[in-house]
Chain A
Amino acid sequence: DIVMTQSPSSLAVSAGETVTINCKSSQSLFGSVRQKNYLAWYQQKPGQSPKLLIYLASTRESGVPDRFIGSGSGTDFTLTISSVQAEDLANYYCQQYYDTPNTFGAGTKLELK
């Protein structure tokens, strides 16, 4: 199974700050046929279901604000949230869908400082 290692596990921020969440996979998520990285980011607010934010490592899902930026390739990926807003306080998970099982990172809790 592909192991997803996410860091940090929690992050305390003030509104307006820029934050970075890292995700590392135990093997490359780059598919040679489509030349894409099969890495997604999800946001989960308390009491809610996860919501897809980013797919193919850097493509924002429809309706996701452009302050959410996904980057990276191969085994190293990053979710950057620029100018964090109060509504962004949530748990964030990376997930690989290159191979089954589609494993998740352990999550990053974004909290208010």
Chain B
Amino acid sequence: EVQILETGGGLVKPGGSLRLSCATSGFNFNDYFMNWVRQAPGKGLEWVAQIRNKNYNYATYYAESLEGRVTISRDDSKSSVYLQVSSLRAEDTAIYYCTRRTIAAPMDAWGQGASVTVSS
């Protein structure tokens, strides 16, 4: 069974940083690109970042709205992906979902999400 579990959410002060972790199991992690997608309260889905697999040289991509403040990384030995977000703002308040996809397929598995609240 495919499992994706995000951790590391919580309450953070404006200007602070946060590192989200995503642990996976039940599939060959090395075959997949991993993504973070977020959803602000009552709003739609926003793609945040992607890291490709070894075959694609671990290339990373970021949403323009967050570029410079986010870093995505992965540890294939732990089947895990991470998202570091800095200089947090109130508008970063959201549920952050970890998802997988391949080059030719969409996001077919999602975690339950990690809630991040940015407030003083």
Residues of A at under 8 Å CB distance from B? Answer: 1, 34, 38, 40, 42, 44, 49-52, 55, 61, 91, 93, 95, 97, 100-107
Size of chain B's interface in residues, with CB distance under 8 A?
21
CB distance from A33 to the nearest CB of B (A): 10
Interface of B: prevailing SS: strand
* Bound complex: CA A51 to CA B105 (Å): 14
Question: What residues of chain A lie closer than 8 Å to B97, measured between beta carbons?
Answer: 49-50
Interface of A: prevailing SS: loop
Interface string of B44-55 (1 = CB under 8 A from A): 111100100000
Give the A-B contact count at a CB cut-off of 8 A.
Answer: 59
Residues A52 and B111 in contact, CB atoms below 8 Å apart: no
- A106-B107 contact, Cβ under 8 Å, with A49-B97, A49-B113: no
Q: Which 8 A-B pairs have the closest CB atoms?
A: A40-B106, A49-B110, A107-B44, A104-B45, A97-B106, A100-B61, A52-B108, A101-B47
* Bound complex: CA A52 to CA B97 (Å): 14
Question: Which chain A residue shows the least CB distance to B108?
Answer: A52
